[in-house]
């Protein structure tokens, strides 16, 4: 009985995580910084080209908004994703913008069924 309950709870958690990750990817595709920032931890490490630092959630949203304003998003595709043995989750993707293509790295953890980003990087290809 305990195993069944565990499997049911695990399934519910994975479905919630999948929907959360899908929402994050859709936000990246549309270049919506406020929707992406909903997935930030309270403090986030960011590297957006030459702008690097640890920012609060609100500051991180502003940094990302400035990037999206200068580099209009035309598309985003996840090329790789995985999970570490400790439960950390990462996504690697390609961001197409009006100024060129970039590689995006998102690293975070599932907290109560929600993927929260700890590190966000955008680098030139």
Query: The domain at 2-124 falls in which architecture?
Result: Roll (3.10)
Class of residue 46 by CB neighbours under 10 A (exposed 0-12, middle 13-18, buried 19+): buried
Q: Which residues pair with 18 in a beta bridge?
A: none
Of 105, 123, 112, 125, nearest in space to 44 by CA: 105
Confidence band, pLDDT 50/70/90 cuts, at residue 4: very low
Cα angle value 78/79/83 (rounded, 5°): 85
Task: Give me the pLDDT at residue 18, please.
Answer: 52
Average pLDDT over residues 7-34: 67
pLDDT at 106 over 50: yes
Kindly list the domain boundaries of the chain, sorted by start residue: 2-124
Q: Tell me the mean pLDDT in the region 76-104.
A: 94
Rounded to two decimals, the pTM is: 0.82
Adjacent-strand bridge partners of 48: 51, 122
User: Given a cut of 80, is residue 54 above it in pLDDT?
Assistant: yes
């Amino acid at each position: 009985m305990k195993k069944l309950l565990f499997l049911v709870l695990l399934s519910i958690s994975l479905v919630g995580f999948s929907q959360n990750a899908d929402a994050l990817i859709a936000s990246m595709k549309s270049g919506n910084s406020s929707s992406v920032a909903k997935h930030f931890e309270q403090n986030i490490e960011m590297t957006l080209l030459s702008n690097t630092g640890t920012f609060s959630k609100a500051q991180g949203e502003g940094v990302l908004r400035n990037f999206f304003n200068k580099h209009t998003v035309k598309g985003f595709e996840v090329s790789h994703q995985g999970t570490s043995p400790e439960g950390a989750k990462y996504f690697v993707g390609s961001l197409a913008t009006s100024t060129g293509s970039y590689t995006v790295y998102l690293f975070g953890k599932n907290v109560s069924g929600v993927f929260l980003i700890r590190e966000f990087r955008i680098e030139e290809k």
